[in-house]
Amino acid sequence: MSIAANLTELKNEVDRLNVKLIAVSKTKSEEEIMEAYNAGQRVFGENHVQELVEKHEHLPADIEWHMIGHLQTNKVKYIAPFIDLIHSVDSIKLLKEIDKQAAKHDRIIDCLLQIYIAEEETKFGLAFDEAIELLRSDEFAEMKNIRVVGVMGIATNAAGEKQIKEEFYELRTFFEGIKQSFFRDKEYFKEISMGMSSDYKEAIQQGSTMIRVGSTIFGKRVIPYWK
C-alpha cells in the first residue's frame, strides 16, 4: 500500500480514540514525508538532530516537529529555535540545557520525561526514582523555559503481549502518581507517549495519548550504517 493509504487507514483507526499520531519519518526522504503531508499529516517525529534540522528547513512551516530519540546536550541548540516537543529527556543536565537554549529564543519548550520501562539494558531513560529525584530538585523548580507535559516510554522489543501490556500499565500508573504529587493543578501535564508500530494497540488500551508510528506508515526502514 502507498504511504497515503497506510496513513489514512491508521488515522481511521486511532483518531476516534483521541490519540495523537506522530508519524516517525527518520531515514525517510522529504518526498516520502510530503506524501504523508499531502494526505493530511502534520506531526512528524525524528531521532537524529542533523536530519531533523535539514527536514525542518526544507519542508512546510506548518509541520509540528517532535524529537523522539536520544538527545545529546551539545546538540540542543540546533533544534531549540523550532522544536515542538522533545520526548526523550533522560537527565536533569539535558533538561537544564533545553531550558537555557529555549530562553535564548524566548520560547518555552514542551518536554516529556523518558522513563525506562523495558527489560533491555541498552534503552535510554530515567528510572522511576531518578525521575522523582529530578522533579523534586531545586534546579527543576528554577527552570522557566521548559514545561514537562508528560512521560514517554518504550516497551521491551519483541516481548510477548502480556509483558508489553504490563510495561505500559506501569508507565501509566507512574504518570498518574507523579501527576498527583507534582502536577496536581497543571492541566498541561497530560501526555503519555507510548506505542510504536508493533505495540500501539496495547499502548492505547493502557491509556496512551500519543503514539509514535514509523514503519506501519512509511514501510520498513533501510537503516544507514551510522544509525
Ligand X SMILES: *Cc1c(COP(=O)(O)O)cnc(C)c1O
Cell of 74: 551539545
Comparison of 28 and 172: residue with beta carbon closer to ligand X? 28
User: Does position 67 bind ligand X by CB under 6 A?
Assistant: no
Comparison of 47 and 209: residue with beta carbon closer to ligand X? 47
User: Does position 125 bind ligand X by CB under 6 A?
Assistant: no
Angstrom distance (rounded) from CA 153 to CA 145: 23
Binding mask 27-46 for ligand X (x = CB under 6 A): --------------------
Helix (H) or strand (E) holding 111: strand 109-115
User: Does position 197 bind ligand X by CB under 6 A?
Assistant: yes
Q: Which long-range contacts (CB under 8 A, 24 or more apart) does 62-71 make?
A: 63/37, 66/22, 66/212, 68/22, 68/24, 68/152, 68/193, 68/212, 69/26, 70/124
**Binding residue for ligand X, selected from 28, 55, 172, 212, defined by CB under 6 A:** 212
User: Does position 196 bind ligand X by CB under 6 A?
Assistant: yes
User: Does position 24 bind ligand X by CB under 6 A?
Assistant: yes
**Binding residue for ligand X, selected from 25, 47, 208, 209, defined by CB under 6 A:** 47
Comparison of 87 and 143: residue with beta carbon closer to ligand X? 87
Place of cell 501527576: 179
User: Does position 68 bind ligand X by CB under 6 A?
Assistant: yes
Q: At what angle do helices 49-58 and 30-38 cross, to 10 degrees?
A: 60
Distance of CA 125 to CAs 18, 60, 119, 187, 215, Å? 26, 31, 12, 24, 23
User: Does position 69 bind ligand X by CB under 6 A?
Assistant: yes
Comparison of 163 and 198: residue with beta carbon closer to ligand X? 198
Comparison of 56 and 143: residue with beta carbon closer to ligand X? 56
- Report which of 84, 23, 25, 89 is spatially closest to residue 55, judged by C-alpha positions: 25
Q: Characterize the bridge pairing of strands 191-193 and 64-67.
A: unpaired
Q: Which stretch binds ligand X (CB under 6 A): 8-16, 34-42, 181-189, 207-215?
A: 207-215
- Least spacing, CB of residue 196 vs ligand X, in Å: 4
Query: Using CB under 6 A as the criterion, which residues of the chain lie in contact with ligand X when the complex forms?
Result: 24, 26, 47, 68-69, 154, 196-198, 212-216
